[in-house]
Structure 1
Amino acid sequence: MILGISLAIVAGAFIGLQNIFNRHLNEQVSSWFATAFVLLTGSMASLLIGFLFQGSDIFDISGMKRSYWFFGLVGVGVIYSMIQAMHRLGPTKTVLISIIAQLTFSLIFDVTGFLSLPKVELKWEDIVGVVSIIVGVIIFNARKKGQVEQAK
């Protein structure tokens, strides 16, 4: 469990960094080129690192379903949407809103068994947790907005 928590924290840090890098990249090139560039460089790095750790086994796709070939489109949607949101909202609001959306949709996917996930029972604690995070974000943004107005 500790390893899982540690990896989730590292993933969160990488997502925050990736969003900042994407924003800077988007200032130099179009959003679509930035999306393609991020996916291409990420794919190349993933293949290289995978090959180093697993050898040629990473290329065994014999058990892969045909539908999985389209899952990369989701990655395009993620990167393009985050680049655009970052440009319009800034890093903090983009990450906060995307985290709320991730939690909300993940809860919906778990409860409904979306895409063959094992169904999870919805508990009131789940709803309270998501609502608490949303309220926290609203308070965070209201406090930040007040600090900006006081600085003027």
Structure 2
Amino acid sequence: MILGGILALIAGAGVGLQNIFNRHLNEHVSSWMATTFVLLTGSIASLLIGLLVDGPAIFDVSGMKLSYWLFGLIGIGIIYCMMQAMKQLGPTKAVLIAVIAQLTSSLVFDLTGFLVLPQMNLKWEDILGIMLMIAGVLIFNMKKKDISKT
């Protein structure tokens, strides 16, 4: 459990860093080229690390459903949307909103058993947690009053 928490923290920090990298990359090339570059470099790195760790066993896709081949398309949409959101909102606001959307949709998926997930029951803590996060983003986005003008 502790290792899972540590790995989640590392992944979260990595997502924040990756989003900033994507934003800078997007300043020099088109959004589609930036998306291609990110996915291509990530795919090459993943392939090389997979070969080092698991060897040729990484190529065994015999148990994989055909529909899973399409799930990579979601990654294209995620990267493109995040780069566009960062242009409009900046990294912090874009990531905050994305995290809330991720947690909310994950909660809905858990509650409905979407894509054959084990169905979970809704608890008041779940609703309270989502509401607190949304309130936090609203507070974070409040404009500070300039007290020097009064």
Give the SS at the match of 1:146.
coil
- Any runs of at least 4 consecutive aligned residues in structure 1 with deviations exceeding 2 A, and if so which? 149-152
Give the SS at the match of 1:28.
coil
Q: Following superposition of structure 1 onto structure 2, how do residues 3-152 of structure 1 map, counting pairs within 5 Å? A: 3-142=3-142, 145-146=143-144, 149=146
- For the residues of structure 1 that align with 2:94 and 2:148, how far apart are their CA atoms? 23
How far 1:151 sits from its partner (Å)?
Answer: 8.2
How high is the sequence identity, in percent, across the aligned residues? Answer: 68
Residue ranges of structure 1 left out of the alignment (5+ in a row): none
Give the structure-2-normalised TM-score: 0.95
How far 1:138 sits from its partner (Å)?
Answer: 1.1
- For the residues of structure 2 that align with 1:47 and 1:99, how far apart are their CA atoms? 28
For 1:61, the aligned partner's letter is V
Inter-CA distance 141–67: structure 2 relative to 1 (3 Å threshold): same
Q: Could you say which structure has the higher helix fraction?
A: 1
For 1:22, the aligned partner's letter is N
For 2:20, the aligned partner's letter is I
For 1:138, the aligned partner's letter is L
Give the SS at the match of 1:29.
coil
- For the residues of structure 1 that align with 2:147 and 2:104, how far apart are their CA atoms? 33
